[in-house]
Amino acid sequence: MKQDITYLIEELRQGKTAACQYVLAEYGPAVYRMIQRIVVQHEDAEEVYLDVFVKALGHIDSFKPQQASFATWLGRIAYNESLNFIRGKKHNIVYMDDYEQGIDSIGENQDEGVWDEQTIAHLERALEMLPPHEQAVITMFYYDDMSIADIAYITGSVPSTIGSQLSRIRKKLYRIIKTL
């Protein structure tokens, strides 16, 4: 596999159309899903999607296989481009300070395993209320099954910070759902 990615990167450096098409076909859907979780408007997500691949292909020399997989490297570009796109736009989001009081007691006496349509709808609404970074972290972990190490690389953080953030975000989601 390492030789395959080395060959692909070399083909991309040479600007070969087939390599670019392969990257779009192989990695494009996952990149678009990540973008769309942060940039929810379809047209805006498409714009960011194009920007991600233009940037990735234009900076292919900066890819270091010893630091991360190619998919994770693309994910980092997608994450950063998505956040850059939404900066300055006003969103109805909830910050940790809004829910700090009593947060340590969250998670106690929960009815685990009770997932009806209303609970899922509340969860989706609560996710939309999170700041973009928190939305991205929680969806990368649960929806994309990414490791904490990969999420840390994508977000430019450290694994222990991501673990702490996941814990706080889960508690925050629980509190938001209770208020809905």
Q: Quick check: helix, strand or coil at residue 130? A: coil
pLDDT digits 0-9 by tens, 131-172: 989 999 999 998 888 999 999 999 999 999 999 999 999 999
pLDDT digits 0-9 by tens, 97-139: 444 444 343 344 444 444 567 777 878 888 888 998 999 999 9
Q: What average pLDDT does the segment 74-95 reach?
A: 77
* Number of C-beta neighbours around residue 31 at 10 A: 24
Residue 115's pLDDT is what?
A: 54
* Phi-psi region at 89: left, alpha or beta (left = phi > 0; alpha = psi -120 to 50): beta
Residue 178 is encoded by which pair of tokens? 């209770």
Residue 120 is encoded by which pair of tokens? 């899922």
Q: Which domains does the chain have, with CATH numbers?
A: 2-86 (1.10.1740.10), 96-179 (1.10.10.10)
User: What Rg do the C-alpha atoms of the chain give, in angstroms?
Assistant: 18
pTM of the model: 0.71
Q: Quick check: helix, strand or coil at residue 6? A: helix
Q: Which residues of 134-145 are buried (b: 16+ CB within 10 A; e: fewer)?
A: bbbbbbbbeebe
Contacts of 81 (CB under 8 A, 6+ apart): 35, 48, 51, 52, 55
Picking from 174, 154, 173, 176, the residue whose alpha carbon sits closest to that of residue 68 is: 154
Q: How far is the C-alpha of 139 from the C-alpha of 131, rounded, in Å? A: 12
* Phi-psi region at 102: left, alpha or beta (left = phi > 0; alpha = psi -120 to 50): left
